[in-house]
Amino acid sequence: MSAHFALPAGDRGPPPDHAELLIIGGGIMGLAVAYNAARLGQRNIVVVDRSYLCSGASGRNGGGVRMQWSTADNVRLMQSSVEICKRFAADMGINVWFRQGGYLFLCRDARYLGPLEHNVKVQNECGVPTRLLDPADVQKIVPELRLDGVIAASYNPQDGVLFPWPFVWGYANRAIELGVKVHTFAAVEGFELDGDRIRAVQLRSTERDRVRSAAISEHNVEEGVELRQAGEAPWRKTITATRVINATGAWSPELAQLVGVSIPNRPYRHEILTTEPLKAFLTPMVTIIGEGIYFSQSMRGEIVGGMGDPEEPSSYNMSSSLGFLRRFAKTATQLLPQLGNVQVVRQWGGLYDVSPDGRPILGEAQRVQNLTFLSGFTGHGFMMAPAIGKLCAERLVRGERVPYFEENGPDRFLGGIAENKETMIIG
C-alpha cells in the first residue's frame, strides 16, 4: 500500500455547472467507469452519490470474485475481472488482500446435479479449471466440513475473495488523481429533458441529513453547532450533462422512473455477519447451491458469511435481523460443527439488485438516448465491476462495440424474459 494513500471522502460541496460524463452512484461500478474513462482521456467526469463511499452494496458484501457461472459470456467477463483483481494492488497502490482460495459449490439436491455438470463443462470450455467433485474429494479440500446429504460439488481454485472497502477506495483515489470530481452527499431530485435526451440533472445536498443522523445516533449535544457548520441551508444545483450513467444499483429503478423509463430490477435485502478471528483452516469460499448461504475465512481469521431469505419481499430495508442469525447459524453449524461456540462480532444488511433473468441491465433504453444503465447485477455487481467498468469506458470514450452490452440492454424485457438466463446465483 502506498505510504501516501489517503481514504477518499469526496467533495461535499456542489458540483461544477457541467459534466461531459455525469455518473450517478459512487459505488464500485460508478467509480470503476470513472477511473477507466479518465484513463482513456475522457475529461470533465463528475461522480455524485447521495451518501458516503461504501454506504451501499459496495461496502456491504462478502468480497467474493468468481469465474463459476452458467453462461459463457459471464465466465469470460469474470476471467477479465479476476485478472484485474490480481493486478489491482500494484496498479492502484492499495492492498485489497486478494487471495485465490477458490469457490466450493456444494450440491445437496439432485435437481441441481445436471445443471452443475453443464456449468462445469461451460467453464472448462472457457479455460477455467473447474472440477466436478464427489464428497470424498470435497473432504480433502475442507476436512472440517460435515457433508451430510452432499452428492457432488464444483471447485475452481482460481476464484477468490478480497476486502471490499479498499477496492472502492482504490478506484476513487486513482480517479480523483486523474481529474475526476467525486461529490458525496449529493442526491438527484430530478432531470430536465430535451426530447429523448437528458439536458440537466437537479441535485441537492444531503449533508445536513448526514449530520443529523450522526448526532441522533451518537446523542450528540452539539448537533446544532454541527448543522450550522454544515450550512444553514442545504445547497441545490442544476448541472448540465452530455452523458449520464445510472450506476445506483438497487435504487436504479427509482432513478429511471424520473425520466419515464421502467426497468424490472428490484431491491431485496441480504444479510451478512462476521465472527471473532479463528485459526486459519478454511481456504475456499463455501456455498450450497439453492440454499442461499455462503461463507469464507478472512486473512485475519474471521468467518464472513451471508444468507438470503427466499420468502422476504422486495424492499429497501437494510436493517439486521435475529431471523437471519438463526437461519445462518443453523445451516453453518450443520456444515461446520466447530462454529457452534464461535462468537459473532457484528452483522449487517445490504441490498441485492435483482433482475428477472439474473443478468445485468446495461446500456441505453430507447426512450432516453444519453442515459446508460449499469444495474440489475443480482448481488454480483461488485465482482463484475472491474470488467464492466473497463468495457463501459471503452464503449463510451472510444465508441467500441461491446456485445455484452448489446445482449443485456434494458429494452430486452419488452418482449418478455429472455431464455439466456444466468442460474448460478448465490442467495
Give the pLDDT score at 394: 98
The cell for 113 is 446435479
Give the separation between CA 390 and CA 31, rounded to whole angstroms.
11
Which domains does the chain carry?
18-60+165-264+357-415 (3.50.50.60), 99-158+266-354 (3.30.9.10)
pLDDT tens track for 135-179: 999 999 999 999 999 999 999 999 999 999 999 999 999 999 999
- Kindly indicate the confidence band of residue 3, based on its pLDDT and cuts at 50, 70 and 90: very low
The cell for 330 is 443453523
Give the pLDDT score at 221: 43
Give the pLDDT score at 226: 52
- Per-residue three-class SS string for 53-73: CCCCHHHCCCCEECCCCCCHH
Average pLDDT, the chain: 92
* β-bridge mates for residue 294, sequence order: 287, 306
Give the pLDDT score at 215: 44
pTM score, whole prediction:
0.93
Give the pLDDT score at 217: 42
Average pLDDT over residues 38-53: 97
154 Rama sector, left if φ>0, alpha if ψ -120 to 50, beta otherwise: beta
CA distances from 4 to 1, 167, 168 (A): 9, 16, 17
Shortest CA distance to 186 belongs to which of 11, 8, 42, 389?
11
* Look-up of cell digits 452483522: 347
The dihedral over CA atoms of 378, 381, 383, 385, expressed in degrees to the nearest 10, equals: 160
Average pLDDT over residues 240-252: 98
List, in sequence order, every beta strand (DSSP E) within 16-113.
18-24, 45-48, 64-65, 103-107
Decide: 48 and 402 in contact? Cβ < 8 Å.
Answer: no
Residue 420, amino acid? N
- Kindly indicate the confidence band of residue 227, based on its pLDDT and cuts at 50, 70 and 90: very low
Residues making up the chain, counted from first to last: 427
Give the separation between CA 96 and CA 174, rounded to whole angstroms.
14
Decide: 145 and 133 in contact? Cβ < 8 Å.
Answer: no
* Look-up of cell digits 462478502: 62
- Kindly indicate the confidence band of residue 11, based on its pLDDT and cuts at 50, 70 and 90: confident
Decide: 287 and 108 in contact? Cβ < 8 Å.
Answer: no
Give the pLDDT score at 315: 97
Average pLDDT over residues 292-311: 95
pLDDT tens track for 79-104: 999 999 999 999 999 999 999 999 99
Give per-residue burial for 95-109: e unless 16+ CB within 10 Å, then b: bbebebbbbbbbbbe
* β-bridge mates for residue 325, sequence order: none
pLDDT tens track for 386-407: 999 999 999 999 999 999 999 9
Residue 280 has pLDDT above 50, yes or no: yes
* Interacting residues of 330 by C-beta distance below 8 A, sequence separation 6+: none
